[in-house]
Structures are given as structure tokens and as C-alpha cells.
Structure 1
Amino acid sequence: MTPSTPADPPRLEQPVVATTAGRVRGFWRGGCATFLGIPYAQPPVGPLRFQAPVPHEPWEGVRDATTQGATPQRGATGITLIPEPSVPGRSTLNVNVFTPSPSPDGALPVLVYIHGGAYVSGSIASPWYDGRSFARDGVVVVTVSYRLGFDGFGWIADAPSNRGVRDWMAALEWVQGNVRAFGGDPDRVTIAGQSAGGGAVLTLLSMPAAQHLFHAVWAMSATIGVITPEESEADGRRAAAVARVEPTVAGWRALTERQVRDAAADLVAMRDLHGAQAVLSDGLRIAPAVDGDLIREPVVRSLARGVGADKPLVIGTTDDEFSMIVDDHRRWLRWVPVAPVLAVLGLPRRRRRPYLAANAALRREHGTAAAIGRFVTDALFRRHVARIARARAARPGAATWAYRFAWVSPTRGWSLHCLDVPFFFDVLDAEGVELIAGDDPPQPLADAVHGAAVDLALRGAVDWDPWAAGSTMSRVFDHPAPASREQADAYDGVLPLT
């Protein structure tokens, strides 16, 4: 959806909204009232470190919400596809709110966004997570920070499990109690996320304890895995041994933030093809884990049992999420048969031949490197689309729409991880977008992707056929025109992996 023309006139007064903890002051940008760094929980420091989130204490007067709050992410994280700055400070459990109507008289749909970053990085201070275009189109946006890395997800003997997941739930509880004051309807909340954020919203969809907190789901490039209680404990004990502390709250609290990160460094996700091999075999080690309490069983199994079946779901990926990890290996991969590489990457023999047959056209047209990159993408991301859509299709009333984002980056040569995010938010002019989408990213593609997200928030549905028994129709987002089309076999290439 294209920006309004002419632009909304500037508003001189600053909007003030009363939350359950106190009043906050934001600022206007055209027709979007923006509130930054609103705390939904107490700072997770001191006696609250490694504990479940606690609602923020009330404050007196009017709290300034015109600058980004502190982020759980610390320091520079190296070259990333999405610019996600770190903001220092102690009060890191915050939300940003973007609304066209900061008044309790409104009843607008709400979109709550959970950022990605492999559960160890990411920041709601990113200019790519600006909700101004959703606000323009009548949707209130809330972006959520949460504890990352070992602080959020590591096993500690006497600490609450899945603290990062508890943060998501606390933020959603804050939305239920406060979004009406910002013009939103707490009975029309869509949760959305990309990468680890996509895994987050699917985790929430699969949790009986979270069902009252939202009403629809959009999962982008979701990465999900199965960390058993035994594996989680083993990883936690190993990290404590590295740090030379007892695996207890007292032991971990004796360490600085940096020391905690260093102790858990071996659990962090892949950075190259070798790392991809480890993740393909073992999965993410810092992530939500089955704990028998908050998360009772793996995501796909829970969804197949019908948990969340009453919530509409849109799920999809880019075509070549992680194919860029083969860029440095193209020269030698051209001389290597595909099958042995797939074997090294852990694809069992019984699945290898069917998978190669299903992707023969890709290999012929684009070569071995593209085929290897596609396998990594399929194993980590795309197969989950087919598994979840098929599982939910077997449940009466569970509406699931699948999509592919197929447009290829003119600067990176792939339809790669994160490329779809600025199109989803319709922020093609944001800082850093040109590095991944070129100097002239196609606005019609943003209109299609963002427009579909607005549709889901507004009416709980999108305008293409859902998966059903015997039907696997998916929307393909691409450019040039048509910016979107339907395709019945969009995920056939991953079926041998499911």
C-alpha cells in the first residue's frame, strides 16, 4: 500500500497515553503516533536476573517515550542483514507502539511483532521494524524486546525455564491490558515474527497457556527445533562448567553479562557452511525448549494435536534463506557431485534420491552451489512450512495459508534471509534496505506483501486459497508483475524432507 499523498500535516502536540503503570509521552510523525521504550516489565537485573518477568512498577508523572529503550542485545554484533542497533541500559524489557489513533475510543486491529536473531541477537530499535505504514493502514503495531541468549533460554537448575518465552507472554499480557488506550482492540491481536521471531510466534501458537493472548499468526522464515529437557540441561551444565560456576542462579549471577555470553558461545548458531552442518544435525541450542511446564511438547506435534487450530495462520519463507553461505564455496562446489555433499550435511540415504529428483530442475539451471544452498534452506526453514500446513490442514477449522517470497536481491543474487522484512513493513526507504534490496526496490512487491499482512490483521484472512486436504495452493510474491500469483506445487521440493 503506497504512502498517503499528500503527506499528513505535522502535529505539534505530543500524544500522551495512560498505561496501567503510568502515563507515557510519544511523538507524531505525520499520522503515526510513536511511543518508544515503554517498559512492560521490571529491569531483569539484581534479584530479578534469571527470573520470570515481573510487571513494571507504577511511575509518577509522564514518562518520556520518544527515544529507544535499552536493548537486551549488547554491543556490536558484526555485519548483519538487518541493521539492529544495541542501546545500553538496564531496563531492557520494552515495547515500541505505533498507532494512528492514540485514544481509548479506537478499536483498531493490533499486530505484535517479535524480532529474529537466532534467539541470541536482534533489536526493536531497528529502522526496519517501524510500524508507520501499518499505522497508515489502520493497524496498531507493538514491537517486543525479550531476553536473548543464555539469559533468556539457558537451563539453570533453580531458575524458571524459557525465560525469553515468558517475556513474550508478559509483553502480550501488557498488550491485553494496555493496547486499548493506544486505539487498539485487544480482541484482534495478530502476532508476527521473522526467523527466530517466526519460531517464537509458532511456539506461542502451540502453547495452551498462550492461547488467550492473540487471535491470528503470521510466521516468516520460522526456524523451529526440538530441544528436549535432557538436552537443555546438558547444555546448561556444559556452559556452567566452561564458566567454572555452579549451574544455579547464584552461580550465574556471579558472572558479568560478557562472561555469560562467553560461557555459552559454543551453543550459538551457525556462521558458515561448517556451522550449518552442526545446526542441521543438532538444531539450535539456544532456543525455546520442551520443559514439561510452559512448553509441553514440540511445536509441530502440538499443532498436529489441534492446539491453536482456531487461530488463522499465514506461514512462508524466502526461496533461498541461507543459500548465501555457499557464496565462498562456489568455485570448488561446481566440481563436486551433489549427493556426497548432502550426505555430509546429514541427509539420510533414503531421502537423498527423492530430494534430488524433486529439485533436479534447480540443479540443472543453477548448479551445485544453488542446490546445496537450497537444501540448507529447505532443512532449516522451508520444510517447516509444509509440515505445519499439512498438519493443520488435517484439523477441522484450522485455516493455514502458505506463501513463497521469490524475488531475488539485485545486490546479493538470492531471495535470501531477511529480504522480505522491509517489504512486510513497507519501509523500503529505511536505512540499510538498499544494501540488500538495491537502490530501487519494487514498491508493488511491498504493496502485495504488506497488503496481505494488513488483510490478516483486519479480517483474519488473506486473499488466496488455504492449504486443505488435497490442496497445497500457495501465494508467490515476486516482481516484475504480477507481484503475486498462486502456485499449487510451491513447496513440492521440500516434501521428501517432511
Structure 2
Amino acid sequence: MTEPEDPVVSIAPGRVRGRWRGTSGSAGASAAFLGIPFAQAPVGDLRFAAPLAPEPWDGIRDAVAYGATAQRGDNGITLIPEPSVPGDSTLNVNVFTPVPGDTAAALPVLVYIHGGGFVSGSPASPWYDGRAFNSDGIVTVSISYRLGFDGFGHIAGAPSNRGVRDWLAALEWVQQNIAAFGGDPGRVTIAGQSAGGGAVLTLLGMPAAHGLFQSAWALSSALVDVPRERARTLSAKLANLAGVSPTRDGFASVPEATLTALQNAAGATESKDALAGVRALLSDGLPWGPTIDGDLITRPTIESLRAGVGSEIPLVLGTTDDEFTMTTDGAKGRLRFVPVGFALGKLLPEPTARKAYLADGAAQRRKGTAAVLGRYVTDTMFRTTVVQVADARGAAPTWAYRFCWPSPTRTWALHCLDVPFWFDCLDADGVAAIAGEAPPRALADAVHGAAAAFVRDGDPGWPEWASAPGVTRIFGGEASHPDIEADGYASVRALL
């Protein structure tokens, strides 16, 4: 059989060449265009600048390999294989499409934002390949953005929220160019997991982002609204550690690798008490991420949603049941004989809330003290966000879900486990490590099918939150468990 000719499409800056996976026009065929710049390389004078449109090029640019990543070395912060690619041109997109060059196809578009705590992660993960969505008639795009201090740190004399501006620039690129790949710029869904899910909610609450997407799906959202004063304090600490003034010129004099190495120390709590560090993380949130700058982001995201910002945009959001419960597994032996109320009191000192929380979480309590502490971290960082966002949106179209299937290798329905089911990439590298050698096909069909239906039709297939506040779709529950729970997040309400 003759190999299909490499597809070439024309976009605003010039022509790009991708590569077919499968025979053009056959069932399941997908073309990948990788590493296309949506902005110029953020180096030199552009290092701390707002993203600048890419310069045009002559001839045909090869787009057959992933572009450079802002992540410099995968430090294992996520459970997802997220390769680092060296190079300067880190602001790029990857496009997966079944119909390259068919400008009349007008297929719905999915734009995915990777996670990694806003300091790590890569759009080059094999888990983010859009092949399965292409089979559903959906053009898929994964985007990059600046990370850590370079993306989100406060710098006097530099634009704020540079990573957020990268998201906006990538979405503007989609508006200008996606028709060349067979996509409809008027039918764009944004989605992301963890920090990427937080990015989705941040964009949803930003008037500046509206018109760039029409629906949103947030997986395990790590929502961050760094107060302006905290951002300034963190930057001052980082400048002190680097031995420079906290200005644009001062930070520009420090190599990227040095700042990246120092940013964790700047964001860490100064207490030597481990529990104090956990309490600080739970109360203050992640140190690097979207900042309330008074410009792009003028107030906390929940407040914006409560005020009606983004109410016209359909939203699906949910979590895994035990995002971070794995973090306390190592302490099971030490905590075995520690009363759960006493242990939880170190993190949740208010007695009335603690008593109500333990009563509502009786099922988790039966699994032991370590399981309760891990679930509390999960609930505080992730699961409460679902209820807060859904309640804040009122009558706006909102759907909630939970991913309950426990990992056969890691015990819990843990952070990142749902991603390969959502992308329907169960055979991708790294999936077996957290989903086992035989992850359930039916679960992938259900999760991915709901995502595809939402991107295509604006409805994932279960009742909206506003129709019965608390109503939640359950993915991967036990056979005796209903697919729908009347109040699927009831166990976190004592924390609100």
C-alpha cells in the first residue's frame, strides 16, 4: 500500500507540513501537526514580555516533532509521562485532525491545557494525543505556556500573568488558524486537568477570554488566585535568594535554570514543621499561578463566576475520589493507632467542622486514619472546588461528575488516573503503571464518550447541577453503585 502524502496546510504565518497516522480518508486516520509556534520564543528581550505573534516564514515548515517545552527536565511531579524537549521556542501548539486542509469541514475543536502545578508539565505527552477525539470528528489542540516564575511571578516593569497571556495567545491562534485544519473557531471547547483544570476556570472567569471558546471541561481543577501582595512577597524572596534586585533587569540577569531551581525555595513555608507546611499549602494554595493583578484578573475566580461572568458558557467539572490520598500511604503504619479525630485536628482544628466532616465521611473513616487525612487534603484542594464553582454559577449550564474507579496498582482513584480514560488512550506509554495491564474498556467508553458528546453537542448526558443541586455523574463506581448520585459531593459540605 502506498504511504499517504504528508499533509500541508496554509495558516497565517505560512505553510506547515504534518504527518498522517493511518491512511488518509480511512477510518481512524489522524494527521498530527506538532510544535507550531503561536508566539515568538520568550527569550532575550521577550523573556518576561507578553507573547508576541510569530514571524512569518517562507516555504513549508515541518511540523512533525514536538516543539520545545517550558519544562526543563521531567521531575516526576505528575503521574503522567510528560517529556521535556530542549529549545527556546517553547510557545507552540500541537494540532490533531482527521481532515487537514478541509476548510469547509467546520468540525468542533477541543483545546487542552496541561497540568503540573503551574511549574511543570508538558504538552508533548503521549496521553494528550488527539487521535481518539479525531475519530469522533473533533479537531484537537494541545498548547504550551510559560511555567513557574517566568510565567506567573510578579516583576516590576513586566506584564503580569505571562502564562495566562500565553493561554490567551494560543486561543487567539486557534481562532485565526484552526479552520485550515478543518476546525470551527466558533465551536471551541477548552479543557485541562489539575493546573490545566484551574486554567480552564480562570479563563472562564476572565472577561478578556470570552469569545475565544464556547464551552469548558475542568478535570481535577487546581484553582489558584494568588493575591497581589503574596505575589510581590514571593518575588522579593526569590530576588533575595538570587542576589538581584526584584526588577525586570534584575531577574533578566539570572539564568532561567537558576531561577527555576530557586523558585521552590521561595515558595516553600519557612516552618520546619511538616504539618505547618501542609496547613499553609491548604490555606494559601500553590505559590506560582494566576495572580489577581487588577488587570487581566481583577478578583478571585469564584467571585467572578458568582457575579455571572461566563454564565453563558457550558461547564463540566469533577475530580477523582482520592486525588492525593496516596500521599499518606507511607504513614499508614505510624497512624494506625492514632485516633482519627486527634490526627485530623492537626489540619482541621475547628471542632464543629471536624465532627461534621468525619460524620459525613464515615465510609472513608473505615479505611483508617491515613486514608482520612489523605482524603481531607484531596477535599480541600480539589473536591470542594466542584461544589463552590457549581453553586456560584447558579442557573448557568453546569454538570458535575466523580471518577471513582480505584487504581489496581496504586490503590486509590488517584490524581491523573482519569486522564487516559478521558483521552481514550489506554494503550499509551505509562498508562499501565497506574491503571494496570487491563484497564476497563467500558469505563473509557463512558468517560471519553461523555467528553466527546459535550464537545460536539454541549451536553455530556446527565442532569445539570441547577436542576437538582448536588446531582453528580459517577464514573467507575461499584456495580451496586448508581451512575447518578443525588448529592455526589455531600461529604465535603462541612468544609465549605
TM bracket (short chain): over 0.9
Instruction: Count matched residues.
Output: 485
For 1:334 and 1:283, locate their aligned partners in 2 and report how far apart those are by CA, in whole Å: 29
Q: Which residue of 1 is the match for residue 152 of structure 2?
A: 153
- 1:433 equivalent in alignment to 2:434: no
Q: CA deviation at 1:249?
A: 1.1
331-340 vs 316-325, which moves further: 331-340
Q: Which residue of 1 is the match for residue 11 of structure 2?
A: 19
Question: In 2, are the aligned partners of 1:477 and 1:483 still within 8 Å (CA)?
Answer: no
Cα offsets for 1:370-408 (capped at 9, x unmatched): 11111110000000001111111x2x4x11000000000
Q: Helix, strand or coil: the match of 2:157?
A: coil
- 1:225 equivalent in alignment to 2:227: no
Instruction: Give the letter for the 2:313 counterpart.
Output: K
Q: Which residue of 1 is the match for residue 25 of structure 2?
A: none
Q: Which residue of 2 is the match for residue 109 of structure 1?
A: 108
Q: Note closer, same or farther for the CA distance 1:274–1:321 as it changes in structure 2 (3 Å cut).
A: farther
Q: Which residue of 2 is the match for residue 55 of structure 1?
A: 53
Question: In 2, are the aligned partners of 1:273 and 1:325 still within 8 Å (CA)?
Answer: no
Q: Helix, strand or coil: the match of 2:200?
A: helix
For 2:481 and 2:184, locate their aligned partners in 1 and report how far apart those are by CA, in whole Å: 31
Give the unaligned 5+ runs of structure 2: 23-28
Q: Note closer, same or farther for the CA distance 1:321–1:26 as it changes in structure 2 (3 Å cut).
A: same
For 2:2 and 2:237, locate their aligned partners in 1 and report how far apart those are by CA, in whole Å: 55
Q: Which residue of 2 is the match for residue 457 of structure 1?
A: 455
Q: CA deviation at 1:11?
A: 4.9
- 1:176 equivalent in alignment to 2:175: yes
Cα offsets for 1:332-359 (capped at 9, x unmatched): 1111122232232245334211111111
Q: Note closer, same or farther for the CA distance 1:455–1:10 as it changes in structure 2 (3 Å cut).
A: farther
1:84 to 82, 85, 100: 82
Instruction: Give the letter for the 2:342 counterpart.
Output: P
Question: In 1, are the aligned partners of 2:152 and 2:162 still within 8 Å (CA)?
Answer: yes
- 1:367 equivalent in alignment to 2:359: no
461-470 vs 46-55, which moves further: 461-470
Cα offsets for 1:304-329 (capped at 9, x unmatched): 11000000000000000000000110
Q: Which residue of 2 is the match for residue 331 of structure 1?
A: 333
Question: In 2, are the aligned partners of 1:14 and 1:28 still within 8 Å (CA)?
Answer: yes
Q: Helix, strand or coil: the match of 1:276?
A: helix
For 1:480 and 1:338, locate their aligned partners in 2 and report how far apart those are by CA, in whole Å: 26
- 1:402 equivalent in alignment to 2:400: yes
TM-score, structure 1 normalization: 0.94
Q: CA deviation at 1:282?
A: 2.1
What do you get for the CA RMSD once the two structures are aligned? 1.7
Q: Aligned residues: percent identity?
A: 58
Q: CA deviation at 1:80?
A: 3.9
Q: Which residue of 2 is the match for residue 381 of structure 1?
A: 382
Within-5 A mapping of 1:315-326: 315-326=317-328
Q: Which residue of 2 is the match for residue 194 of structure 1?
A: 193
For 2:351 and 2:2, locate their aligned partners in 1 and report how far apart those are by CA, in whole Å: 63
- 1:419 equivalent in alignment to 2:399: no
Question: In 2, are the aligned partners of 1:227 and 1:290 still within 8 Å (CA)?
Answer: yes
Instruction: Give the letter for the 2:19 counterpart.
Output: F
For 2:340 and 2:56, locate their aligned partners in 1 and report how far apart those are by CA, in whole Å: 60
For 2:244 and 2:116, locate their aligned partners in 1 and report how far apart those are by CA, in whole Å: 27
Q: Which residue of 1 is the match for residue 264 of structure 2?
A: 265
For 2:480 and 2:437, locate their aligned partners in 1 and report how far apart those are by CA, in whole Å: 21
1:33 to 31, 34, 48: 31
For 1:214 and 1:452, locate their aligned partners in 2 and report how far apart those are by CA, in whole Å: 19
1:357 to 359, 367, 383: 359
For 1:448 and 1:378, locate their aligned partners in 2 and report how far apart those are by CA, in whole Å: 24
